[in-house]
Structure 1
Amino acid sequence: MTTSPSLLAAQDLHVAFPGRHGAASARAVDGVELDIGAGEIVALVGESGCGKTTLARALLGLVPPTRGRVVFRGEPLTYSSRALKAYRRRVQLILQDPTGSLNPRHTVYDAVAEGLRIHGYGGDERAAVAEALSRAGLRPPERFLLRYPHELSGGQRQRVVIAGALVLEPELLVADEPVASLDASVRGEILALLLRLRADLGLSALVVTHDLGLAWNIADRVAVMYLGRIVETGAVEQVLTAPRHPYTQALLSVLPEAPGDPVVLTGEPPDPSRIPSGCRFHARCQILAGGEAERVGVADACRSEDPEVLGGGGEAQVACHWARAGITA
């Protein structure tokens, strides 16, 4: 749980994409409140298609919100070219595929220096690039400056991408599945690097992932997203050891070390252009299907009443009628 001041916040954030041929809009982000504190690492977790990457893109200013706003250091984000350029120097993106992020014709030096050139850096470019590579764990940096991406391992390429973000001295990193394409032996090294950057530089981070194990290893706080909305949030130890939302329980049940049988959810997530009434998870909910919601008198609410949007702060919260009725797994 964080007591640090908010660095970046989503406030009543909605992002909708128009449907084709007059179809209803797809509500990819459908009312999200989320704060990221200074020096805090927040993991945003959920299955594919839940809206977490769209939320991350909206926080970066890459997708303008349909409603609501993004606030950085107390100031609403504006979408002029000049304002976005200044903002993106302070908030940097790290993508999951380092090979796709790097131009195969550019050396490591050019890849890392690109951001400096875009932002008109007036200092010693070579020294700044070498420092960023060193911070990213590529030492001595002189060994890597003239190499090309194909001459590097997957882990080294990801470190180059991280160095390209660090060279601009950002305050926050948005890492979208930062270790998903890496071998298991390298993942721990990259996660340890992100933690070290937080300790050494005071960096904040939003880590977007479907991997709850990754969230456990790196995050201070976790936000679980389903169908465009955060359904459970709180300190990572609290959420992942005592999950209250049935969706979070199902995600955790399939981890290798989880006790009991895995919860197999029926069907696919609903179409974001046709979000069901009531709790958006109720059509797949094992608690409702098993009769437990009926026994405590909340089944009708599950089907007809939309749980309120969770606040963006660090306290433990859950958007579930059953959990709020005081039932524990």
Structure 2
Amino acid sequence: MTISPTAPEVTTAPLLSAQDLHVTFPGRHGGPRARAVDGVDLDIRPGEIVALVGESGCGKTTLARCLLGLVEPTSGRVTFDGRPLEYSGRPLKAYRKRVQLVLQDPSGSLNPRHTVYDAVAEGLRIHGYGGDERTAVAGALSRAGLRPPERFFLRYPHELSGGQRQRVVIAGALVLEPELLVADEPVASLDASVRGEILALLLRLRTELGLSALVVTHDLGLAWNIADRVAVMYLGRIVETGAVEQVLTAPRHPYTQALLSVLPEAPGTPVVLTGEPPDPSRVPSGCRFHARCQILASGEAERTGVADACRNQDLKVLSGGGASQVACHWAVAEVPERGAGL
């Protein structure tokens, strides 16, 4: 199912912005610290849907948790609506009302002992909502596509289908009238027949409510169907970003090319990456992807004259804006007029 999102104007000031963000965790048994997020700039504008794409362990979930205020950055900062995010007290509580999380597993995120009504109303009660709770819950369920909402009030999660449970989770986020949703693999646990319905719902909410969204996923097909812009993450850093059509139809970074090559509809032979999966406690020198890079392994980087740079010269952090950018010595050497992306 192909859905055509309507992108916002690129001149709009960011709603959420990460600037030179780093998150490290203590190493095992006193070893080197794990650099889960290792220098990230990322902007999300009002009404924009950004897909954050990468394999497991690349740091995308840690980045999302940091943007939500669940993890405090080691360095760098997050700003929302022009103001730096505070990680304690009332400001953080107020922020979490404006930025809501949608988890990938509705069965795990819904309390089996709570009715649908209580699950959706929980956020209102936490934040001391002073209006008509029943009306707010009914409105959120209706916007999430569960109609008539009263029919679902007294149901329990086990009485619902997977798609209905995910809609309840989305309703629980919508009831607080947020400005931004962070959706972590929002359709990963759903049947293929339901995935398109949930993606269409997220797009409709963007159109009707002006919601922004960060969609965290390893699924490039999902990014194609829902996002305005895509950011490809590898070993703690964004290595390619730009409009979704541009990045996914003409990928410039070898890692993006490898991810796309294994899609069922991709032409040619899938790229099999060599080497070990990335270890955030041992980030290699030079390009962090060079140990697994098919361009370097094939000799193409040597022929282009960038092999030494790939192994030894670090790349700058990509800016958080909407311009097409790539952090790759070979890609810039191949298309020098686009070198400003570094």
TM-score (norm 1): 0.99
Alignment of 1:122-137 (within 5 A): 122-137=130-145
- State the shift of 1:326 in Å: 2.2
1:69 alignment partner, SS class: strand
- State the shift of 1:21 in Å: 2.5
Partner of 2:193: 185
Instruction: Say yes or no: does 1:72 pair with 2:80.
Output: yes
2:334 alignment partner, SS class: coil
Q: 1:280 aligns with which of 270, 282, 288?
A: 288
CA contact (8 A) 1:108 1:149 kept: yes
- State the shift of 1:81 in Å: 2.2
CA contact (8 A) 1:7 1:72 kept: yes
Q: CA RMSD in A?
A: 0.9
Instruction: Say yes or no: does 1:253 pair with 2:261.
Output: yes
CA contact (8 A) 1:252 1:258 kept: yes
Partner of 2:3: none
- State the shift of 1:82 in Å: 1.2
Instruction: Say yes or no: does 1:6 pair with 2:8.
Output: no
Partner of 2:102: 94
- State the shift of 1:79 in Å: 1.2
Partner of 2:50: 42
Inter-partner Cα distance in structure 1 for 2:275 and 2:100: 36
Tell me the alpha carbon deviations over residues 134-168 of structure 1, each in whole angstroms, 9 at most, x when there is no partner: 00000000110000000000000000000000000
Partner of 1:303: 311
- State the shift of 1:293 in Å: 0.5
Inter-partner Cα distance in structure 2 for 1:70 and 1:18: 22
- State the shift of 1:327 in Å: 4.8
Inter-partner Cα distance in structure 2 for 1:267 and 1:164: 43
User: In structure 1, what residue type is equivalent to 2:203?
Assistant: L
- State the shift of 1:268 in Å: 3.0
Uncovered stretches (5+) of structure 1, i.e. residues with no partner: none
Q: 2:174 aligns with which of 154, 166, 170?
A: 166
- State the shift of 1:5 in Å: 1.4
User: In structure 1, what residue type is equivalent to 2:253?
Assistant: H
User: In structure 1, what residue type is equivalent to 2:34?
Assistant: A
CA contact (8 A) 1:46 1:209 kept: yes
User: In structure 2, what residue type is equivalent to 1:74?
Assistant: G
2:12 alignment partner, SS class: coil
Partner of 2:150: 142
Inter-partner Cα distance in structure 2 for 1:73 and 1:85: 15
Identity %: 86
Inter-partner Cα distance in structure 1 for 2:179 and 2:317: 28
User: How many matched pairs?
Assistant: 328
CA contact (8 A) 2:124 2:133 kept: yes
1:127 alignment partner, SS class: helix
User: In structure 1, what residue type is equivalent to 2:31?
Assistant: A
CA contact (8 A) 1:227 1:269 kept: no
- State the shift of 1:29 in Å: 0.1
Instruction: Say yes or no: does 1:157 pair with 2:177.
Output: no
Q: 1:225 aligns with which of 233, 258, 261?
A: 233
Inter-partner Cα distance in structure 1 for 2:157 and 2:194: 17
Partner of 2:30: 22
Instruction: Say yes or no: does 1:197 pair with 2:200.
Output: no
Uncovered stretches (5+) of structure 2, i.e. residues with no partner: 1-6, 337-342
User: In structure 1, what residue type is equivalent to 2:326?
Assistant: V
TM-score (norm 2): 0.95
Tell me the alpha carbon deviations over residues 224-281 of structure 1, each in whole angstroms, 9 at most, x when there is no partner: 0000000000000000000000000000000011110000101332210010000000
